[in-house]
Every structure is written in structure tokens, then in C-alpha cells.
Chains A and B, each alone.
Chain A
Amino acid sequence: MDFRTEVKEWLATHVPAPLPSMDTEEGFAAHRAWEKELAKARLSVVSWPKEYGGRDLPLTDWLTFEEEYHRAGAPARVSQNGIFLLAPTLFTHGTPAQRARLLPRMADGTDIWAQAWSEPEAGSDLANIRATAVPVPGGWRLNGQKTWSSRAAFADRGFGLFRTDPGRHGLTYFLFGLRADGVTVRPIAQWDGEPAFAEIFLDDVFVPEEDVVGEPGGGWQVAMSTASSERGVSLRSPGRFLAAAHRLVHLWAETRDPKLADRVADAWIAARAYQACAEDEPPPSVLKVFWSELDLALHETALDLLGTSAELTGPWLDGYVFALAGPIYAGTNEIQRNVIAQRVLGLPR
């Protein structure tokens, strides 16, 4: 049986009815249980080496998995910050010991990871980080405040940048436990009232030497590797948008409303274009602006098709509200445009 067929058949018999939101305690637990089930079938991280819970499959098979996964309407991946963002960074910048210790627990949902980048005074200006790490025997002590940390309300561990010296070269990439001594997590409710993100306060939190990723002072470079994953196809696979675009085309086909035909077509075209670039990727900043705007346009078009019932709670509305965050997280689209203008097109600062 070829891989696509295996995935399709497995999903057909295992995808559960829609789970409660992963931003609730109950929903988070249900999503973690789903990760365990995926891992049991060795489908949670198919492109990873076998020793960490994967199948050693090439990128094209991962793209196939993602297409089938989203087509089947399977649950959102509560482990996404770990498997799609931290893991690629560990493959590039981590030590073999870190990979052996962290990845298997990530692959089966034992450890769910949260990102800890932003601070009250460091949003788009990420290099302005003020949370500190000072060396102590056997490790480091972390102090400061992180915010807008997705999944942190219920997750197990976090990763982020801390200042070990002044300047951009004084940042270091740390892993830390969200339930460690000195850590306080204060959930922040979003519009729906659920805590999808949180503030994290760190008060003399001890982190052992082994939980530094890359070199002390080399954190910016490591963080940019994570950010590239967050802006490209690793976090937002083409299958996700293509499945949504197909659902949109089906929704449109119910009425074939000529007023919305052009926008429906454009949403599918954009999703298809995003799929076409998976093997020959434009720079992450280009991809990030593109998929975030595509996601919004696609969901706005669906809401317009729904007409006056669009404001009522439902999957399209949930998708729309989630899409609204896209141009903000992973570096705002304005920052991405600055990057494209200055680093890709070579325009002066």
C-alpha cells in the first residue's frame, strides 16, 4: 500500500468528531490524547528519523500527509510549536543529546511546547528583549517577563530568547519548564474568552546547561532559524490551505453566486500557488505575507457566501477569527515587507 493510501485509510477510521477547543483545559487534554494516537500509528512526525518517532520519509511524503490530514478535517495539532518550530531548530542547532532527550517526548505529545519570544517592550522589535539569563554553577538563572505565548496556559515547556549580554549578540536561546520553580503563567483570554495565549513571569528560574540551544550569545541566529520555520511551509503546510480552498469551492457551488465567483477562484488559485512553491520555496518573509493574506481572503469570502448567518459561531467563523491573527504573529507582515525590501530587493534602510 502506498503512503497516501495508508494515511487516507488510517484517517478515515481514526479522525474523531470535532474536539473541544484546545484553548480549554478539557480540549487541550483531548488534543494531547490525539497526538498520542497519531504517534502510536507513527504518523505524528513522518519526516523525522525513526529513532525519534518518525519514519525517515522525504519532504514530499510529509506534504502528502499534510494534504490528507487537512482534507480529512483532522484536529489541529496542539504540538505544532514543538514539532514544526522547535524541532527543525534542534535538527540544525541542537546537540545529539538534546535531540535524543527532547524529540521522542515531543513526537508523542508527552511534552507540549510553547513559544516565549515577545515581551511587553519587544514585539516587532524582537532584539529589544530584556528578560535576562545569568550564569550560575551548572546552568543559568532566568528573570523577566514573556507575553503572547501561544499554548502556554496548558503546555509543559517553553523556548525563547534571553539576554546574556547587551546587544543583538548578547541573546541566548533557552528551553525551560513552564511548571519549574519561579515560573508563573497568567493566561490571557482572547475574544472568545478562552486563554489561547499567556504571560509568563520568570523569577530566578534555574535552567541547566543542557537546555541552552546553540552557543551562549548565539541565540539570535538560532531564533531566526525557528522564525523561518514559523513563516514558511513547516508551520503552515500547503495542504491546510488547499483543503480549505476546496471546502470554499464546494460552499460556492451550492449557489454558484456570480458576485463571489472571482474571489472564490482567486482563493483556490492562491492556495494552489502556495502548494506549487513547496519544493522550490521563496524566502520565508514572502511566504508568510502570502499565506496569512490568503487565509484571511479565503475565510472572508466564505463568510460572504454564508451571508447574514456568517456572524454565528461555526467552523468558517472560527477559521476567520484565527486567520485575523496571521498577519500579526511570526513577525508582523509590515516587518516581513521591510525584510523583503531591504534584504531581498536590496533597497537602502
Chain B
Amino acid sequence: MTPEQRLLATTLDKALTDADVPSIIRAWRTGNQEPGLALWQNLAITTVLDDGGSWSDLVVVFEQLGRHAVPGPWVETIAVAPQLPRVPGPIITVAYDLALDADVANQILIVKNEEVAIGHISGPPKQSIDRTRHLFSVTADETLGAATPTAWNAGALACAAQLWGLGSRALDMAVEHAKLRTQFGRPIGSFQAVQHRLADAHIALAMARPLLHAAARSQTPQDISAAKAMCGNAADQAARTALQTHGAIGYTDEHDLGHYVTKIRALVHAWGTTSTHRARVLAALCD
């Protein structure tokens, strides 16, 4: 990371810490998106690519959005829409299948058969394991033009970065919990069985991050797919480890860990499942 990217990361981290994102998440999932949309305006990051930012900057932004489990169609607006025919924002959702948070978007883009169309909501929202993700069936209206594979690649990369951020925060929460929670008269983090599981999750995340940043630089399909597969696996491992370390409290609605575990599970499948991306790696290498 460059010094500017480090600054971007710490600035975003501070803004998101101050914004009390857990309350925003709790409101968003009951249909009150106002606090979340206020955050959207305050962050002023939706034009990071238009402002001359690189895909590496995008990764830095999405790591932080992941670390704070921020709800909303960020991948679609910040990463994907700028690669497609122009429509005015500020909030754009892009559907390859269902449309995420179409109810808060100013524009709904539908990509099908390498064409982009403007669309409208055609049914009530479906509920995701991540209750902040409101997924709508949409129907295409006017066609805008051709869609490039770059748009989907940008979505997969941003999603990979978001997964990395979600996983790294879930692991941090687990490590803190393991230091504080005592059983048998000792912190549970002193038990080797707990330590090794946390160490393995750390290894997975630590080794996924350089790949993520390398993919942002090279932008080859095999690197982007490798990053999505590896960040998805690492985040999933961190989620499982964090839940196991917390025990029953992690399974409750009261505890914030659930925001992470549920979003990780949802995003592992979004923007190409892990198996899809593995197949894409092999296809790119064997061509």
C-alpha cells in the first residue's frame, strides 16, 4: 500500500467507527435505511474511480467497508457501475440476477447476455441470511448498450476485498473475546486448541491479502478469481472460527458478530461462487 492508501484506510476506518455502523445495520434490516443513506452521503467515496482512483484504491475502500460490515449496494455503485454505460447516481444497483437494495437505488441496471438495460422492481424483496441484503426481482426496460467482462471482474474484486475486511474483523473480535473470556479459571485464549484455530484463520487472511492487492494491479481474470476464491475461503474460515470461539453469545441477535458471519456467508456466493472462480482460474491457465 502507498502512504496515500494507508491514509485513505485510516480515514475511512475512523469515519466508520464514529458512525456507529452496528446501529445502522440494525435499522437497515428493518427497512429504515435513513441512517445508512446519511452515512453514504458523508463518506463521499462513491466516485473513487471517477476521481482518478485505481483498482488498488478500490480494494483499500472495500477492505474498510468490509471491516465495518456497512450495508448497501456499494460494490454495485462504486466498482461495477463505472464500468458500464453511464447513468446518473448517486446510488446505482446492478443486477446479474437479483438486484441488491433496489429499493434505495436511483438507478437499476440489469446485465444480461452482455447487454445492459435500465430496469424496474418487479416483485417484493427476498430475504437473505444477511438481513441487510434486500434482494429484488427486476425486469428490463430500455437497453443502454454493451456490458464488458471488466464490470463483473470489478464486482468480484470489490467483493473479495469486502470479504477480506469482514473476515479480518471477525477474527479480531474472536481474539479479543478469547483474551477476556475465562473458563476453568483461565482465559480461553490460553488453550492451545483455541490458539491454533485462531492462528490458522490468521494465516489464511494474512496470505490472502497480498493476492488481493496483486489482483488489483494485474487485473487478470485468473488473479481476480484467485483473490475472490481465497478471500472467500479465508473469510469463511474466520467466520466459523470466530463463532466457535464466541460460543452461544455469537449466535445471538444481540451480539454484533452475527453481522459478520451472515454477511460473509452471503458474499461467498455473490459475484461468483468459490467453485465458479476456481473453474475460471483453470480456464484462464489452460487456454
Contacts and interface: CB of A to CB of B under 8 A. Distances in A.
B55 to A, nearest CB: 15
A269 B278 contact: yes
Contacts of A252: 282
A137 B169 CA distance: 59
A346 B179 contact: yes
Nearest to A339: B199
A276 B214 contact: yes
A142 to B, nearest CB: 35
Interface stretch (B78-86, B100-108, B116-124, B202-210): B202-210
Interface in A284-325: 286, 289-290
B187 A273 contact: no
Contact of B281 (A265, A275, A280): A265
B199 A290 contact: no
B207 A337 contact: no
A349 B203 contact: no
A273 B281 CA distance: 13
Given A269-B229, A272-B226, A286 B202 contact: yes
Contact of B282 (A264, A336, A338, A349): A264
Given A262-B278, A276-B214, A346-B179, A268 B285 contact: yes
A249 B213 contact: no
Contact of B206 (A249, A264, A269, A282): A282
A224 B265 CA distance: 40
Given A273-B230, A282-B207, A265 B282 contact: yes
B198 interface: yes
B230 A269 contact: yes
A122 interface: no
A129 B189 CA distance: 29
B257 to A, nearest CB: 17
Interface in A325-340: 334, 336-338, 340
Contact of A268 (B178, B200, B208, B226): B226
Contacts of A270: 207, 230
A344 B279 contact: no
Given A338-B195, A342-B195, A290 B229 contact: no
**Which one of B207, B278, B279 has the highest number of Cβ atoms from chain A below 10 Å of its Cβ?**
B207
A286 B222 CA distance: 24
The main secondary structure of chain A at its interface with chain B is helix
A268 B194 CA distance: 29
B175 interface: yes
A345 B198 CA distance: 8
A343 to B, nearest CB: 10
B235 to A, nearest CB: 14
Nearest to A249: B285
Contacts of A265: 229, 278-279, 281-282
Nearest to B285: A249
B179 A347 contact: yes
Contact of A347 (B198, B207, B210, B286): B198
Contacts of B6: none
B202 A290 contact: no
Interface in A233-284: 246, 249, 252-253, 256, 261-262, 264-266, 268-270, 272-277, 280, 282-283
Given A268-B285, A348-B187, A262 B275 contact: yes
Contacts of B214: 272, 275-276
A340 B198 CA distance: 9
Nearest to B229: A269
A273 B226 contact: yes
**Which one of B206, B208, B223, B279 has the highest number of Cβ atoms from chain A below 10 Å of its Cβ?**
B206
Given A265-B281, A345-B199, A346-B175, 13 more contacts: A249-B285, A262-B275, A265-B279, A265-B282, A269-B211, A269-B230, A272-B211, A273-B207, A273-B208, A280-B210, A338-B192, A347-B195, A348-B187
Interface of A: 246, 249, 252-253, 256, 261-262, 264-266, 268-270, 272-277, 280, 282-283, 286, 289-290, 334, 336-338, 340-342, 344-349
Interface of B: 175, 178-179, 186-187, 189-190, 192, 194-196, 198-200, 202-203, 206-208, 210-211, 213-214, 222-223, 226, 229-230, 275, 278-279, 281-282, 285-286
Closest 10 CB pairs of A and B: A341-B195, A265-B278, A276-B214, A277-B210, A340-B199, A276-B210, A337-B199, A347-B189, A273-B211, A269-B226
